Structure 1
């Protein structure tokens, strides 16, 4: 495929539901792939073990290639880049001018997995993009991609908890805190809205020199307290329950506060475990989060 696009999205998933409308709004050309070729996407499936260049020939030339799926196999990140670039101009992979953005997670900082559904309490500590991190297979694959710069400019955006669209944190309180004991273990969490993820991707696209060879940590600049959220939201009332019944979580929170001698929510920062500092990205690219606070529902 010879047509040139601004953005090629490898893996049209949740992120693309925010990124594609923003590309359209900014008059940026784009293409996206999926395993099945659904919804006018290009059928493409990344095989981390394959050296076959043929699947890459159906992909368009792109200024920026966004990799949305995780890569965890040694050599696979380099293989993807070299095969894509090589498919542009025969076997000479150095001729492509494409830049590469890999989406990752922030679970590598802090030593335990943190997400909305399973937030584990951890030692209180500050982390930023330059902090030491756990060298997981996924982090190693991201490092491999970064080492391809400057020959193949690349960057990694490590994202905190994702929300927006169908992903509404209020709907997860019942799963996160199904019991008082489960709620007791919940500490802090970090989030970023899909719209701001899309804006960060395009900020990098438009000023890639600032990003090349760099790993970035992305949050909305806040830390949230699960006790605070569970107390405010509770669970969605069932059809049989009273309209104002928010489930047991608000009462559990009050009891836990009394037992721990906590007088007000949110709790002190020292009780919320790890704290992620993403200010360097927002400062470097001179933008600020639009959805800068977690909300009960989409606007």
Structure 2
């Protein structure tokens, strides 16, 4: 059986950036989807993970190809699920003494707990009772790597379209503080970097952001004309309600200019460590 460089389990939005990048780097790959559809011009393997499979049965993994790295893009929600996937794949794809390495994509949401410091890094306390964090910890204990991703944008995901959903009232705007993002292309670059320098990645949890701490108010004001006239006449456009509310709140809270201070924004993610470690710079920073 030919060994591929990477097997993507669950080829969704991230894979629309990852697959083209793998082609550019001439890295062999295969990907799975629930329905076997094509993703980024590549046909996928129809496959669905069954977390409830009997521990001694590994039938669901037999038809998956052999790969050096297995990327898990969907959330696992218990240590049992992580063990089932990792052990099941390894037992059906035995290539001692060099077994496959596992990379789990997670969320920076695990750090959304009270912190003692303003700056939050990958080493900061996280919610150890979070179901996804529990599953990720199991991946780490087996020598895998976890990439905890900030808010994802790129392609069809346009943050400008989120404003109306996340802030329907002035009180909603008032509650909005910091925002952390990372572009899909930079997620793909990070995955390739991990496979290229596994010694730095193995057993490590990484926080992945574009290095910016965004101020929701500044974004809302900056996108005030997002619903402007179709002819692009920004002067005639009526500012969004969210932009108006942000300016009212600036006056009320004596904020003289945007963006607000890091202290006012609260939780701020230290997002440069991954890029520094792997000798990279985000390509799509600043939304």
By the TM > 0.5 criterion, same fold?
Answer: yes
Q: Check conservation: 1:100, 1:155, Cα contact below 8 A.
A: yes
| 1:19 equivalent in structure 2 | 18
1:32 partnered with 2:31: yes
Structure 1 residues not aligned, in runs of 5+: 113-121, 295-299
Q: Aligned to 1:219, which of 209, 225, 240? A: 209
Alpha-carbon deviation of 1:45? 0.7
Q: Map of 1:233-244 to 2, 5 A cutoff?
A: 233-234=223-224, 235-237=226-228, 244=237
Alpha-carbon deviation of 1:248? 1.6
Question: Which region of structure 1 is more displaced relative to structure 2, 47-56 or 14-23?
Answer: 47-56
Q: Aligned to 1:49, which of 49, 52, 55? A: 52
**What CA RMSD, in Å, does the superposition of the two structures yield over aligned residues?**
2.1
Q: Aligned to 2:177, which of 166, 183, 187? A: 187
| 1:147 equivalent in structure 2 | 141
Q: Check conservation: 1:5, 1:30, Cα contact below 8 A.
A: yes
Question: Which region of structure 1 is more displaced relative to structure 2, 93-102 or 256-265?
Answer: 93-102
Q: Check conservation: 2:121, 2:270, Cα contact below 8 A.
A: yes
Structure 1 length as normaliser, TM-score? 0.87
Q: Aligned to 1:157, which of 130, 147, 152? A: 147
| 1:98 equivalent in structure 2 | 100
2-structure distance, mates of 1:238, 1:35: 41
| 1:212-266 per-position Cα deviation (integer Å, ceiling 9, x unaligned) | 1111111111100000011110342477xx8612422222111110011111000
Alpha-carbon deviation of 1:27? 0.8
| 1:123-153 per-position Cα deviation (integer Å, ceiling 9, x unaligned) | 972111111111111101111111112xxxx
Which SS does the other structure have where 2:148 is aligned?
strand
Q: Check conservation: 2:50, 2:60, Cα contact below 8 A.
A: no
Structure 2 length as normaliser, TM-score? 0.91
Question: Which region of structure 1 is more displaced relative to structure 2, 271-280 or 207-216?
Answer: 271-280
1:177 partnered with 2:167: yes
| 1:250 equivalent in structure 2 | 243
Structure 2 residues not aligned, in runs of 5+: none
| 1:88-139 per-position Cα deviation (integer Å, ceiling 9, x unaligned) | 24xxx86562111000001111328xxxxxxxxx997211111111111110
| 1:63 equivalent in structure 2 | 68
Q: Aligned to 1:133, which of 126, 151, 156? A: 126
Aligned residues: 277
Which SS does the other structure have where 1:165 is aligned?
coil
Alpha-carbon deviation of 1:17? 0.4
| 1:116 equivalent in structure 2 | none
User: Which segments of structure 1 move beyond 3 Å, counting only runs of 4 or more?
Assistant: 93-96
